[in-house]
Chain A
Amino acid sequence: MTAFEKMQQLEQHLSPFAFGKKNVVRLMIIPLLISGHILIDDLPGVGKTTLSKAFAKLLGRSFSRLQGTSDTLPQDILGGEIYHANTQEFSLRKGPIFEEIVLIDEINRMHPKSQSAFLEAMEERHVTIGTNRLELPAIHLVLATQNPIEYSGTYPLPEAQRDRFSCVITIGFPDRETQTAILAEQQYLELDQQISKLPALMTADEIISLRESVKAVNISPEILDRIITFADWTRDPEVFRYGMSPRALSIFAAALRANAVLDGRDFVIPEDAIALLIPFVRHRVEYLNSSVDSKGLADVLNEKYREIFRGL
């Protein structure tokens, strides 16, 4: 079984945990292929944590879970040097961040100083504790969840931290049929058992080879040109407070490539961006008109994307 076929299998296995939303499953996998990180931003009870746990289980990677609380400290995340009284020496204790898949539940409950502990790890893939610089594993995915409706007792992620996440996923409510099924079969209570039964599908080498195939995907110069035009538009100071950074642009292009790979293509088509545009771009720009909320911003971005790609 090739890596690609395994990946398709992974999609199939994962989809029940996303209430059959293929789009969401796809968005979970793409950051894995482009060495990115995922932030799941949605209401409580739509299955954020379950989905993340199932995903980690299916990948078969080492996994750690961290609950965001208001007194979580950077040491709890990164680890630290511990003093041993009997040997009179310091020894290094690694924190949960050193696992391959790190699930951070309710990241916005953490204090900003703890949130910023992730900055180095997520971007540069190493952690400095004291004077030691420690490399993180080759496959390292941070999966964070947050709840958008609470304000008291939470600390919204700062822009720099938001920018570290390559995509922000909104799961949304399940449709009528899925809800009927959930209620009829009473699956909801048994989800944890189901997760424990899931097989581990991927090896590290397979994931790395898929990453190599993503790099080989061709983007035609026409599409690149339009994407850059789009990024330039988001940098227009009359429309946006701030626009897409070069990092955001390169991550977006990589995501388009990964999407093509998951569709079994070795080239990018303009339609690839339809599902990717909002999760990969919206959290990286801020509209000038404050009366437009994030939903409205999505409409504006989609509209402009269509306008720029007119004729392609």
Chain B
Amino acid sequence: MFKRLDHWLTARGFLSKTALTLSGIGILLTFISFVKGIQVLMFIPAFVLGLFLYSFFDVRYAKKLLVVSWLNEQKLALRILFTKPHSFCTFFLIFENQDGTTFLQPQKNLTFVVPRSRGKFFLLVQGRLDIFRAVIELPSPPEAATDAKPGESENGEIYFSVQEYEDGDELKRIDSLQTAKRQKWYVRKIIHEAPMRRPGVQLLPKILSLISNQNLVAKTDVKEGMIIEWSMIAITILAAHLEWRNFVFTLISLSSTFFVLGWIYLLKWKLPGRGWMNTIALLLFVGCFIEGGVIRDTVPAGTHFLILLAIWKHLFIRERRDAFTYVFLVLFVFVALSLYTLSAWFIILFFLFLVHSVSLFSIYSAGERAEEYQRAFVSPAPRYARLKISGIILACTLVLFFILPHGNQKKDTSLIETGPTNQTGFDEEVALSDVLSIKKDFSKKIVIEKAPSNRISEFGELYWRGMRFDRFAENKWKKPELKTEVFRSKNPSAASETWDVRYYNSGSDALFVPFAPLQIKAGRLVFMTVGADTSLYKFTEPQYNDFLLSLVFAKDGSDNLIAGSKPAFPYRPIAIDKKTNELMQPFWQSLPANVRTNPQALTQYIMNDAGFSYSLRDTAPSLKSFLYEKKQGHCEYFATVLALTLQHLGYEATYVNGYQGGEWNERAQAWVIRGVNAHSWVEVYDKQNGWLRLDATPASSETFFPSRSQGWQLQWYQAYDWVELRWFKYFVSYTGEKQKLFFLQVFVYRRIIFWSIVVFILYRKTHKPLWQFVKTSWQRTPVERFLWWLKRKTKGDTFVLGNLQDKFPELVTKTRKTIFGKKPTSEELRELKKLWKNHYTKSKNRICGKMKRKW
């Protein structure tokens, strides 16, 4: 097998080395995707396969259009032509004899002047993406031309030849394939050395005069290639920035980019040699290593290093292999980022990257060295054509993503957990400004992706409970001492309904649910059923990922918090902290008598009559200030005052943090709860009514994001959410199981799909010769039908009768006279058919008879 692969990869093989590299990367990432369960990574294998497919058909198409002819008049030359203009091909003429292999490049009008010596000629047709190649063995040139002395080449533009190694040859020019094939050291000897610098991009006119070299190939393709590389760097930095939102990182990336570029361009006449390059790369690595060890995580630092390396590589793209290395460096950055983030930003940038890399591939596949771009193409490729290839390949990638087998990992979250973000909030203990800090965050926290449609109107009313606290000390609420069952489904055996809820990087170990679920499921895994502690749901450690849970609720529809449920544990009064007691005493004493026995009345009193007012921006700095001085604050103060007062009055009251509210995203058909919707309220046990939820905060529409909550900005955010939710639904969590479901759905339409494929293939196969035949058959004249018959009978081609003239001269003359001389009658044609049948079968029998006798 390896022998065969080796054969495929030789100069005359149909695969390029790029194909090997690409398939290696594809297989590696498939493996990672299967093991780690990151379905998005399957994009890379799909992309690679898309490239392969495109290249395969491109080369086949080019081969179809090709006309090759030997010219033998003035000099021995080979000419290549297309029956249609086709700009996506390069050619090499490979000449092989016992001395070695010679690669010849075409001259301007696609003519090869070939060496006048005996050997084998092959034409290598190379598509724009050099993955597959077509190798056509050419018939040997006409005899007269090969009379000349062997080895003499007449104006031959030899590109390079592979010769045996001699002392003093550069080691990097050793050709591994030829060496392996011939069991001797072989090197590539370049006859035309390309200039070692590239054209500059017209970014700054002043730098331009420094960087543009007049002797350079002023090829628009190469210039465009440089622009594409630049924008790829920009995309990568942007993607990394959006992931970490760390301005220091971006600043370092950008400034080092400009530093490196400026330094290189200003000192360009003293370009460091290879040794210097390695030293600088090493320095960059050490810098990033220190950055990783000292400043932050290793992975961001590693990514940073990759970006810098890509920038560095970008300066030295001269050969095809440099371009490929560059693309792969950037690809690795994206792979590293995909381990972190799965946001919509990432998707957009990732697709941009794919488009760019196709363009870059297509530019640099044209030739191995800069000078080749000059005459590589039949005609300069129009820009839209490159976009067209990118489009085709991306479409292939999308389709292949769904078709390629996916792993069946349960985990649909990202691989590495990011460190805690700077938000505090829901934790072991909370200060009175923690909810406020979450309210400054506009990002998504909880999204109801799927719920029964009759519940949609209730979403705004739901209180998503996350944490409960019952002890207040030193201006902080602390974890409850009591284990209290707050609520339970009234009727566990009732019919159930399922909500699909996605949770985003909450940074805490709490699970936020609106009321008591019967079950909580992640994929097929059920990790909570009725009977456990239903007061709150907790993970063993804080969650920094996004994950999707299915919550199963009883179908009776009521908010079954409190509704008659009684605590399973005996009531125990909570001892209030001494300092708090002193602080609260004046307020408690001022309470009117009628609210002291009724929790609901007390809530109304605090909300409306106690003189407190709601404010987010101009909020009181402490509880003391809220009670007696400023009397302005947000939900946490209202809930704290209410909870402490109820505890003082002898109720079992807890302070609850969570989310309340949200907005309906019509486009995505989902309910989105953001950080803005963080809230605090109180739950209390009333002996007559059971558990009650009390919210003392007055209604207010004040937010930190007045503009984002309305108008076009809200529209934009909703559109962004829509993209992200689709992305999660169809790509991130597209596991093997979902794929099975997808194919089952496809299976339902199997007949339609089958017939449409059959029709498509038939159309593609026949739309040229047969399709035209069918289209025109009703217009065909009897003569044409007769000739068609004769053509099939004699297996002829163009000029049916002309080809038969040598064999049956009389019959051909007669037929011609009949069918072309005047309009033949059908009887005449019938007679002719008979004549031909007789003659043809006779002659066949004659030959076969001879053969029989011989045997």
Contact = CB atoms under 8 A, between A and B. Distances in A.
Contacts of A293: 109
B109 A307 contact: no
A291 B110 contact: yes
Given A289-B379, A292-B109, A267 B820 contact: yes
Contacts of B798: 306-307, 309-312
Residue from A173, A268, A290, A292 with most neighbouring chain B CB atoms (10 Å)? A292
A22 interface: no
Nearest to A293: B109
B405 to A, nearest CB: 42
A220 interface: yes
B84 A269 contact: no
Contacts of B821: 218, 266-267
Contacts of A223: 820
A174 to B, nearest CB: 12
Interface stretch (A62-70, A74-82, A296-304): A296-304
A271 interface: yes
A69 to B, nearest CB: 29
Contact of A172 (B73, B83, B109, B797): B73
A270 B783 CA distance: 13
Interface in A248-290: 265-271, 274, 288-290
A311 B788 contact: yes
A291 B800 contact: no
Contacts of B802: 269-271
B787 A300 contact: no
Contacts of A266: 821
A221 B784 CA distance: 10
A172 to B, nearest CB: 7
A62 B8 CA distance: 71
Given A218-B821, A218-B822, A304 B83 contact: yes
A5 interface: no
Contact of A311 (B781, B800, B820): B800
Residue from A291, A300, A306 with most neighbouring chain B CB atoms (10 Å)? A291
A240 to B, nearest CB: 11
B65 to A, nearest CB: 10
A266 to B, nearest CB: 7
Interface in A180-214: none
Residue from B784, B801, B823 with most neighbouring chain A CB atoms (10 Å)? B784
Nearest to B82: A289
Nearest to B805: A271
Interface string A135-173: 000000000000000000000000000000000000011
Q: Contact size class for B?
A: 20 to 34
Contacts of B83: 300, 303-304
Contacts of B67: 299-300, 303
Contacts of A173: 73
Contacts, number: 85
Contacts of B800: 311-312
Interface in B77-99: 79, 81-85
A120 interface: no
A220 B79 contact: no
B820 A291 contact: no
Interface in A206-256: 218, 220-223, 238-239
Nearest to B817: A267
Contacts of A172: 73
A220 B801 contact: no
Contacts of A113: none
Contacts of A290: 379
Nearest to B791: A311
Given A271-B799, A306-B798, A295 B820 contact: no
Given A296-B109, A303-B67, A268 B820 contact: yes
A268 B801 CA distance: 13
Contacts of A268: 820
Interface in B608-628: none
B816 interface: yes
A172 B83 CA distance: 26
Contacts of A310: 797-798
B71 interface: yes
A303 B82 CA distance: 10
B816 A269 contact: yes
Contacts of B799: 270-271, 274, 306, 309, 312
A229 to B, nearest CB: 10
Contact of A296 (B81, B787, B816): B81
A268 B820 CA distance: 7
B584 interface: no
Q: Is the interface of B mostly helix, strand, loop or mixed?
A: mixed
A167 to B, nearest CB: 20
A289 B816 contact: no
A291 B822 contact: no
A291 B379 contact: yes
A291 B783 contact: no
B563 interface: no
A310 B769 CA distance: 10
A57 B801 CA distance: 38
Given A270-B799, A271-B802, A291-B108, A220 B819 contact: yes
A231 B71 CA distance: 27
A312 B716 CA distance: 65
B85 A239 contact: yes
B668 interface: no
B377 to A, nearest CB: 9
B29 interface: no
A271 B800 CA distance: 10
Contacts of A296: 79, 81, 109
Contacts of B797: 310
B833 to A, nearest CB: 16
Nearest to A312: B787
B737 to A, nearest CB: 50
Contact of B109 (A221, A291, A303): A291
Given A239-B85, A266-B821, A220 B110 contact: no
B228 interface: no
Given A291-B378, A291-B379, A269 B81 contact: no
Contacts of A221: 781
B705 to A, nearest CB: 55
B820 A269 contact: yes
Contacts of B84: 238-239
Given A271-B802, A288-B85, A289-B85, A218 B820 contact: yes
Contacts of B819: 220
B69 interface: yes
Nearest to A219: B820
B819 to A, nearest CB: 7
Contacts of B822: 218, 267
Contacts of A265: 816
Interface string B798-834: 1111100000000000001101111100000000000
A307 B67 CA distance: 13
B376 to A, nearest CB: 12
A296 B823 CA distance: 37
Contact of A238 (B79, B85, B378): B85
A120 to B, nearest CB: 37
Interface in B567-602: none
A218 B82 CA distance: 35
Contacts of A306: 798-799
Interface string B45-86: 000000000000000000000010101010000010111110
Lowest 5 A-B CB distances belong to which pairs?
A267-B821, A267-B820, A271-B802, A306-B798, A291-B109
6 contacts: A220-B783, A266-B821, A267-B822, A268-B820, A270-B799, A289-B379
Given A238-B85, A290-B379, A293-B109, 18 more contacts: A172-B73, A218-B820, A220-B783, A222-B783, A223-B820, A267-B817, A268-B820, A270-B801, A271-B799, A288-B85, A291-B108, A291-B109, A296-B81, A299-B79, A304-B83, A311-B800, A312-B784, A312-B787
